Amino acid sequence: MRNYNHHSVKPSVTPSAGAESPARVRKSRPPRLLTAAELAGAAWMRLPAPRARCPLTGLSRTGLIDLVERSGGAVRVARLQRPGTARGIVLIGRESLLAYLDRIAAEGGAA
């Protein structure tokens, strides 16, 4: 007679060498945002994700877009979009953005 008390150890089942493991579904993650130190050498920076902040300036995505539009062309912008697609990537020139922010600060903060 076998003893089926709670102290008995059940054998573990391991898949054989030839058996395939079930496919794991991998969730896609948003791209990792760069830190201000990592952006120090970059010529261009991407707009932050919605509801995220720019690691260099601390501005929101909308704040950066507004600043670029009010700059009157002082901030360099590159819009990359494949032909026939509705969406694309907006890149902002890091040096021109910082120069524009310095100019606003020197003028007393009115943009």
The pLDDT confidence band at residue 31, using thresholds 50, 70 and 90, is: low
pLDDT of residue 83: 94
Please give the Cα distance from 54 to 56 (Å, whole number).
5
Give tens-digit pLDDT for 70-106: 999 999 999 999 999 999 999 999 999 999 999 999 9
Residue 65: alpha-carbon gap to chain centroid: 16
pLDDT of residue 41: 75
**Which of 25-29, 47-51, 79-83 comes out lowest in average pLDDT?**
25-29
How far from 67 is each of 3, 9, 76, 92, 100, CA to CA, in Å? 76, 67, 11, 11, 9
The mean pLDDT of 61-69, rounded to a whole number, is: 94
Please give the Cα distance from 104 to 81 (Å, whole number).
31
